Structure 1
Amino acid sequence: MTDTRSAAWDTYSQSKPQRRQTNAKGETTWFNWTQYADHGPGHEVLALKSGDTVLDLGCGSGGNLAHLATLGTKAVGVDLSPAQLAKARERWPDADGTELHQGDAVAYLAETFTLFDAVFSVFGAAWFTDPALLLPLVRTSLKPGGVFALSQRPPVEGCYGCQASYIPRGAEKDPAVVKRWDYEPEVWCSLLEAHGFAESTATVLPAPSHDRRTMGTLLVRAVRGDDPRA
């Protein structure tokens, strides 16, 4: 199963160009939660300070990780796709403080002994993993008061829970199929609270007014609470 998913994300990586050399502000590294360039909040969502340790679930080609490393954090990323991680190493060879792992996010969380100050996922593994499996592992991998945040597309009305995503593999091949989990904002808050998180918020950020696309971005955030449930 993991091999099939890894191949699917390798295929996906072929359609995604490397991150630009600079953003609209002229910055060489930056953090982006949305599918739109130079839009939305940045790393401040994670409330990190220099010396903190942060984990990216589904880090892809590593742009967000590289930025967090420039802030003085130890930035750890895990991704199923060897092709995506190769792009990360090619694009950010001098990003001191980054650590990349190839594999499944759930398996990594189950095996790591590191406690993180923040765990996040930008259109990444948190979207493609059953929250019932993921959230307990994220919580136990966070320090008390640590932040968990994720972003993904909002759900299609009436299409909630486990859904299918199709990744094209060429004209003569069937698309690769991966599962994703879509919930309304209030359901995300309920799920987080049920798994021992506090201060949960879930907001749909609107698309930028100048873009022809209109779909917003769902941004979910919570902190590890005192509830002993894992």
Structure 2
Amino acid sequence: MTDTAAWDTYSKQNPERRPVNAAGETTWFNWTQYPDHGPGAEILNITPGANVLDLGCGKAGNLAHLATLGAHPVGVDISTAQIEAAEARWPGSKLELHQENATHFLAESEEQFDAVFSVFGAAWFTDPAALLPAVHHRLRPGGVFAFSQRPPVEGCYGCQASYITHSNDEDPLVVKRWDYEPDQWKGLLETHGFTTATARVVPAPPGPKKIGTLLVRAQG
């Protein structure tokens, strides 16, 4: 199975974003795996007219919110099913969506971006040795690159395997992800030319689940 098939399978399993959040808003930005928790779009320093790229945009809920802030929202996802779901969910949001591998898109695009972000997306599932220089090349000077994902399991760093269940009668689909501690991410970003890099774990909200969210931010 290709990565495209794996992420198409994931798309069908992943539920749609809620019609409204706890505050009654129809669009919102969420970095974490928990609803109504953590920081929002302010991490990206968005201003009206900003050119913003989401790597691994999924069903594009975060991107649709940035459109309401006046940004020009561009999304890339390797999954055709995810792109089709995004187009169906946000028909009036003027999202520019591309079904493409993230590094291929960055290499082929001639656009410059004020912000590039990834929420449990391509920044987690792409070799940083390939992705980070490609992002830096497309980011305007002083622009923001930010991404979130689960923190690493202690002692399990670098390329790891993630499993996507296909069916009870078939083996799970396998995709690669890259896990590092916060200080390691800072070092990788600085090696590839980023500045003011920060990386921290946002604690989980009160409740039985204790795994927080790794949030990384840097400037080009």
TM-score normalized by structure 2? 0.99
For residue 5 of structure 2, the aligned residue among 1, 4, 7 is 7
Measure, in 2, the Cα distance between the counterparts of 1:127 and 1:158. 17
Any idea what the Cα deviations from partners look like across 1:37-82, whole Å, max 9, x if unmatched? 0000000000010000000000000100000011111000000111
Measure, in 2, the Cα distance between the counterparts of 1:129 and 1:52. 25
Over aligned residue pairs, what C-alpha RMSD do you find? 0.7
Moved over 2 A (4+): none
Aligned-partner SS, 2:2? helix
Measure, in 1, the Cα distance between the counterparts of 2:98 and 2:128. 21
Listed as ranges, the gaps of 5+ residues in structure 2 are none
For residue 75 of structure 1, the aligned residue among 73, 76, 79 is 73
In structure 1, the partner of 2:114 is 117
Aligned-partner SS, 1:107? helix
Any idea what the Cα deviations from partners look like across 1:181-227, whole Å, max 9, x if unmatched? 00000000000001100000000000001x32110000000001xxx
Matches for 1:9-158 after TM superposition, within 5 Å: 9-96=7-94, 98-158=95-155
Measure, in 2, the Cα distance between the counterparts of 1:127 and 1:152. 7
Measure, in 1, the Cα distance between the counterparts of 2:145 and 2:100. 20
Measure, in 2, the Cα distance between the counterparts of 1:125 and 1:60. 10
Aligned-partner SS, 1:24? coil
In structure 2, the partner of 1:223 is 219
For residue 175 of structure 2, the aligned residue among 171, 175, 178 is 178
Aligned-partner SS, 2:115? strand
After superposing the two structures, state which structure 1 stretch, 32-41 or 85-94, moved more: 85-94
Q: Which amino acid aligns with 2:214?
A: L
In structure 2, the partner of 1:228 is none
Aligned-partner SS, 1:177? strand
TM-score normalized by structure 1? 0.94
Any idea what the Cα deviations from partners look like across 1:146-200, whole Å, max 9, x if unmatched? 0000000000000000000010000111111100000000000000001100000
